[in-house]
Structure 1
Amino acid sequence: MSEQSGAHLPTSAYFDAISPGHYRPTEAAGGAWNSDEIHFSPLGGLIVHAIDLHRAAAEGGVNGKELGRISFDILGFLAATDCEIRVETIRPGRTIELIEATVIIAGRPAVLARAWFIATTDTSGVAGGQPAPLPSPDRSAPWSMVDIWPGGYIASLDFRSVAPPLPGKASAWLRTEKALVAGEPSSPHAMFIALVDTANGIAVRQSPLDWAYPNLDLTIHFHRQPTGNWVGLDTTVTFGPAGHGLTSSVLHDEDGPVGRAEQILTVRPLS
């Protein structure tokens, strides 16, 4: 089962399973903008975990396809309370497969997600075009993000800065020792995606005490499946002149680049 290879089972978690498809966030999932909300990063990983469970149950195991793209639309406030994740296959197929997931919080849809899975074939002879890899985590300096952002999720992470961050530009590694769901192993791509939304917080263009710039979405494309515990983010944040912004990241594991992530922002002053 290649999609579950490398799955691990840490002793603490971001969510507890209540019943099939129903989850309760722990303090470790606490948001950065508001202490009463879930940080989207671990919730995004949980959605992928639920998609993996759905595919395994529907197809009796791995079917030779890998995750190529996942998009999340965040519809509103992610209250730190019980959530339900409903998953369905909306486009089955032998070479491509589209899965849709809806997160229900407080009786309302809170997140819509769609994931494309793509059949694998050997293209190693023509592979190329990737950006340069980041320096390894071992060559990067410890970085305390709790000086910038509050919340249980940020406090749960181990950060390493590749170089001193600049306004709107940063490269960093991060990892966590926590599981997505207590007592359940998760796939490497679910654990990787559980950290990607952090990108919007590492390349601070303006102080979050003075400006709000939450993301409305997260879209991730993979050209290679991620492995290992470290997530590398080479991130740039752009603010436009009319309240819109964009966080763009090249995603890395320790073997090099694996894909890209984009997040659209709503930018507004806090006073």
Structure 2
Amino acid sequence: MTTNEGITPPDTSFHRDGDFYIPTARTRGPWDPDSLHGRVIAGLLMYEVERLHLDHAFQVARLTVDMFRVAPMRPVTVVTSIVRDGNRIRVADASLRIEDGMEIARASIVMLRRAPIPEGNVWAPPAWNVPHPDTLPPLPPPPAQFGPAAWETRAITGQVAFANSGPPVQKRVWIRDNANFVDDERPSPLVRAALVSDFANPFANSGDRGLNYVNADASLYLHRDPEGDWIGMEVVAHHASEGIAIGECVVYDLDGPFGRSTVCAVANQRRL
């Protein structure tokens, strides 16, 4: 793969340098060419908590990421702590900081002990019957000013565009991360889920005039880890009033649903 300028992009999102992670062009966000994409903020916070605080006895059940400052394209570090380490509930905090110690995002991660499912039947939505991603054409890459994408998208219904994108419809897509995440490490299933959680904003909150909301958070709820490379998203809610929007997507793999992603967002114009 080459960029529009004919330059081969880096094959990873971050390089590790001691306690710091050095962002590459693949981490650039859509709002400001000098800022990190929200997806890699969520992914890196999950990466550190999984690396330091998770074992197989526990399932990550919720990741909530608060993004309260523009994250510059500069080396970042993650500081984590255990808030609660109980028999069935483990809670960790993670803070993303730049070199001078300024905090630019933080996360709370709830991990629950795995156990057998209780007996009985509970209502559940019908199966997600959509085309396999291999049968769908890949969408064009994002504009060159966004940097080389680390993922590919295949639309089932609707599309996401930062400018006009046609009549609003319920969006359904498949997403696959193609690049390494840290150096030569592929993103784990949990990191892949965290990476796509931020996409609940453009998928749920964009309309016929493109995306005009920037999300201040992303919350991912999981009842299991995703399997395989492809993650599906289906918009199930969008509501907005007084310049504030909320959006929600169900997230799937090829075996079915594994969680939900929700965001809150504020009206915003891109600086590109």
Unaligned runs of 5+ in 2: 1-9, 160-166
Q: Is the 8 A contact 2:216 2:264 kept in 1?
A: yes
Q: Is the 8 A contact 1:134 1:256 kept in 2?
A: no
- The structure with higher relative contact order (CA 8 Å, sep 6+) is 1
Please identify runs of 4+ aligned residues in structure 1 that moved more than 6 A. Answer: none
Structure 1 distance, partners of 2:56, 2:88, is 10
| Matching residue of 1:262 | 262
Equivalent position to 1:146, from 142, 145, 155: 142
Query: Under a length normalisation based on structure 2, what TM-score does the superposition of the two structures give?
Result: 0.83
**1:242-270 superposed Cα distances (whole Å, 9 cap, x missing partner):** 11111210111111111111110101467
Cα 1:270–1:46 change in 2 (3 A) is closer
Measured on the aligned residues, the alpha-carbon RMSD in Å equals: 2.5
Q: Is the 8 A contact 1:196 1:231 kept in 2?
A: no
Instruction: Trace 1:1-271 onto structure 2 (pairs within 5 A).
Output: 12-20=11-19, 22-55=20-53, 62-105=55-98, 106-123=100-117, 126=120, 129-135=124-130, 136-144=132-140, 146=142, 150-152=145-147, 155-165=149-159, 166-167=167-168, 169-203=170-204, 204-208=206-210, 212-236=212-236, 238-268=238-268
Q: Is the 8 A contact 2:201 2:263 kept in 1?
A: yes
Cα 1:97–1:76 change in 2 (3 A) is same
User: Once structures 1 and 2 are overlaid, which stretch shifts more, 237-246 or 44-53?
Assistant: 237-246
| Matching residue of 1:7 | none
Q: Kindly indicate which of the two structures has a greater share of residues assigned to helix.
A: 1
Deviation at 1:241, TM superposition (A): 3.2
Corresponding letter in the other structure for 2:102: R
**1:33-77 superposed Cα distances (whole Å, 9 cap, x missing partner):** 111000010221111110012116xxxxx2501100110111110
Query: Under a length normalisation based on structure 1, what TM-score does the superposition of the two structures give?
Result: 0.83
Report the count of equivalent residues.
251
Structure 2 distance, partners of 1:157, 1:118, is 29
> Aligned with 1:50: secondary structure?
helix
Cα 1:229–1:125 change in 2 (3 A) is farther
Unaligned runs of 5+ in 1: 1-10, 57-61
Q: Percent identity?
A: 22
Cα 1:127–1:257 change in 2 (3 A) is farther
